[in-house]
Amino acid sequence: MKSNRVRKGGGRPKDLGAGLKYSSQPQNSNGLEEGVEFLPVNNAKKVEKRDPRRRAVLVAVVVAVSLLSLTAGFLVWHFQYRNARVQTVFNGYLRLTNEKFLDAYENSSSTEFGSLAGKVKDALKLLYSESPVLGPYHRESSVTAFSEGSVIAYYWSEFSLPQRLVQEAERVMARERVITLPPRSRALQSFVMTSVVAFPTDPRMAQTTLDNSCSFALHARGQEQTRFTTPGFPDSPYPARARCQWALRGDAEAVLSLTFRSFDVAPCDERGSDLVVVYNSLSPVEPHALVRLCGTYPPSYNLTFLSSQNVLLVTLITHSERRHPGFKAVFFQLPKMSSCGGTFRDAQGTFSSPYYPGHYPPNTDCTWTIEVPGNRNVKVIFRQFFLVEPDVALGTCTKDYVEILGTRYCGERPQFVVAGNSSRVTVRFHSDQSYTDTGFLAEFLSYNSSDPCPGMFTCKTGRCIQKTLRCDGWADCTDYSDEKNCKCNASHQFTCKNEFCKPLFWVCDGVNDCGDSSDELGCSCPAETFRCSNGKCLPKSQQCDGRDDCGDGSDEATCAKVSTVPCTSRTYRCHSGLCVSKANPECDGKQDCADGSDEKDCDCGLRSFSKQSRVVGGQNADVGEWPWQVSLHVQGQGHVCGASLISPTWLVSAAHCYADDGGFRYSDPAVWTAYLGLLDQSKRSAPGVQEHRLKRIIRHPSFNDFTYDYDIALLELERPAAFSSVVRPICLPDATHVFRAGKAIWVTGWGHTQEGGTGAVVLQKGEIRVINQTTCEKLLPQQITARMMCVGYLSGAVDACQGDSGGPLSSVEADGRIFQAGVVSWGEGCARREKPGVYTRLPWFRSWIKDQTGV
Ligand code: 4AZ
């Protein structure tokens, strides 16, 4: 047995408190100093009485020692800190007013470059020497580039500054200054440099540390696109600990458009992530940064950036050893906009921020004047609005903004309307010098002020919505004005305290639907008891006691401590055979089973792209957003059903898709073709799409063609799928996994976009909510079995439809992993009120899937 007793006679006691006194006597053989006395604390006075002179000496010694240590401390602080030298690198630029640009200035090894750079360095040295804060500490300066227009020189200067002067030096360097050198003997003109500014920079990006093999200068050729990539792209990953830069130039009167066509660098993490920064300058200075990028973007993501003049700088700093291919980019030049904005005199029209949906350029101001004809008013509908900039306090629009009728708008906003009360409105757009975004797309209309939305309901925001959306429990006007002042229909609606009407079956479902929780009040249990997810009230002492007292596991599901509990049908069983109290512990990033089996086989449910495109209209899915979604085609019929990829060779789908019908042999694997990695049905030969034949179809033996009970099938591919950024498997939930009522889940497919309509060309996605089983049974009486679950909205609107069958319900679970909650099975029509879609519950079939496929 291990014991923690201290060894006898070992070492000196560290701190024995106030009663301890050390003498300078030699140590005894125990290692303790001889003469050490352990005095009782209350004995201190007795010691003093022994010798009053000794007390005075002691006080003097203490004072002297304190003074000495204070002085020493000050000196240490003064020399070590205040006077400690800090290497500071400033990056900056300046304008050379009397200089004509020569092409040779773009080549840093030309003699012309060297000669002009020499003059700039001399001038900088002179400038610094005039400042006591800078002169004595200036180490070195270097010119990195020149650009044309009025000639601009980009440079860095290194200082070794005492800590106490760093802030002052930063202030002086950031102040725009002018330097004039008198004409030299051979030069007729004086050498004038204006707008001399510089900012402290990440020293890693200073030229001294830049690897020359990773520094590129590119000039746009005519109207052509120039392509550049990270080293080794796409076959080998970019190097770790690299410092790369691409200086992009155009002709004097041009601006540049830069697009990243492919972008895959290491994921963004707090510290030390790999980073790409684009600057609207050839100096890597923060005030001119346009964007900072890391992670992975799908090809559809808009990564186009515009400069405000004829240069851009792209830098890459890498740390990680993780293997990512990097980026591929193109740029080209285009004439500078002569003006921005305009005057409209029509009854309706559209306008947008410059270069929309590319990122608008910095330093831009545009004004649109809208004057509608007749005696009507103007309203402006902002369909898309993205003016996000870092470090802007919420509610203030201090950097980029749109100003209309005296109000400034910025940030990211859902569609909104600004309605004026006259026939004329002015819209102003402003972008400052740093960080740009996609901008806005707006439409203007004229309207009759006495009837702004003919035949429709007018939101307080000015938006027009269908009258049927009023008082339906959903906020269709972003300001909730369609849900205010409603008279709820007691037969199927609940009146919230805030007077919103919500469907009755949302009451006591554990979700705050009213917004003021009034739909969840009165559902609570008496004091000292808690409410199970199934509504039961139990004593609090039974919560987290390791036993399933609720009967649905909810009393044990969210306990801080995961304990081993007796196994039931609702507890997760580890490979060891032991069961844990936690609900849904599989692949949640935390080891809950002692043998780690809950975190095994978790290579599923993740997308390749860390960034998702912003939804620009509709609910089209994005490339790689649902990489497990499969489209099943029948020759001559096209897309018929959906399915999901669960392993390289197995798909999950709905059994009813593979039942013979009207003499057609849907049960024959040979009639089917599976398309993996597909987004657009019209682009089945697009890169990344895989076409597979089926080897086997296993319909669940209990599938009932009449009730659609056990509506699940397994499809085996003839050859394994190759996983890629657009082909990946979804996670299968354990048999005990709970998708609780109210949880938001995604349904995807190419099914009809309306009941009786036609199939979608681009994969569609819709967010719906799990409906509790009792409500489900009430809404679809005598049709729901334990294998089925209702998911959707009682107001209709979002639902699966014909052609979505067999597709997955994707549920984002702990740790961001996506699990398949169900399979699209059936419904009474599509998107009808109070008729949600019905789905086959996946957890019910977990062991059957394992038995049939080994997955
Ligand atoms: C179908 O026919 C179908 N509204 C699938 C789902 C739903 C309706 C029909 C649910 O494949």
Using the atom order of ligand 1, give the atom closest to the CA of residue 805: 11
- 650 C-beta closer than 6 A to ligand 1: no
Task: Please state, as a whole number, how many other Cβ atoms lie within 10 Å of the Cβ of residue 535.
Answer: 15
Mean pLDDT, residues 715-744: 94
752 CA → ligand 1 middle, Å: 9
User: pLDDT band at residue 547, thresholds of 50, 70 and 90?
Assistant: confident
- 708 C-beta closer than 6 A to ligand 1: no
pLDDT at 249 over 80: yes
Mean pLDDT, residues 567-585: 90
Using the atom order of ligand 1, give the atom closest to the CA of residue 830: 4
Write down the pLDDT at residue 78.
56
Q: Residue 567 in contact with residue 733, Cβ under 8 Å?
A: no
Work out the percent of the chain whose per-residue pLDDT is above 90.
53
- 830 C-beta closer than 6 A to ligand 1: yes
Q: Are strands 672-676 and 629-634 parallel, antiparallel or unpaired?
A: antiparallel
Q: Residue 158 in contact with residue 134, Cβ under 8 Å?
A: no
Which residue from 802, 835, 839 has its CB within 8 A of the most atoms of ligand 1, so it is best to mutate?
Answer: 802
3-state secondary structure 543-576: CCCCCCCCCCCCCCCCCCCCCEECCCCCCEECCC
Write down the pLDDT at residue 517.
84
Mean pLDDT, residues 501-515: 77
Q: Residue 437 in contact with residue 614, Cβ under 8 Å?
A: no
477 CA → ligand 1 middle, Å: 29
Which residues have C-beta within 8 Å of that of residue 376, sequence separation ≥ 6? 347, 423, 446, 447, 448, 449
- 840 C-beta closer than 6 A to ligand 1: no
- 802 C-beta closer than 6 A to ligand 1: yes
Alpha carbon 525 to its chain's center: 39
Site of tokens 């700039």: 120
Which residues have C-beta within 8 Å of that of residue 389, sequence separation ≥ 6? 399, 400, 410, 432, 434, 435, 436, 437
The SS3 of residue 60 is helix
pLDDT tens track for 291-311 = 999 988 888 889 999 999 999
Mean pLDDT, residues 703-726: 97
CA distance 555 to 799: 32
pLDDT at 504 over 50: yes
What does the radius of gyration of the chain's CA atoms come to, in whole angstroms?
A: 36
pLDDT tens track for 94-133 = 999 888 899 899 888 899 999 999 989 988 998 999 899 9
Closest CA to 264 of 306, 325, 205: 325
pLDDT at 654 over 90: yes
Task: Please state, as a whole number, how many other Cβ atoms lie within 10 Å of the Cβ of residue 18.
Answer: 10
Which residue from 661, 801, 823, 838 has its CB within 8 A of the most atoms of ligand 1, so it is best to mutate?
Answer: 801
User: pLDDT band at residue 750, thresholds of 50, 70 and 90?
Assistant: very high
pLDDT at 776 over 50: yes
DSSP 399: S
Amino acid of residue 590: K
pLDDT at 207 over 60: no
705 CA → ligand 1 middle, Å: 15
pLDDT tens track for 153-194 = 999 999 999 999 999 999 999 898 888 877 654 455 677 888
739 versus 524: which is more confidently predicted?
739
pLDDT tens track for 322-368 = 788 999 999 999 999 888 999 999 999 999 999 999 999 999 999 99
689 CA → ligand 1 middle, Å: 26
DSSP 658: G
Work out the percent of the chain whose per-residue pLDDT is above 70.
88
- 226 C-beta closer than 6 A to ligand 1: no
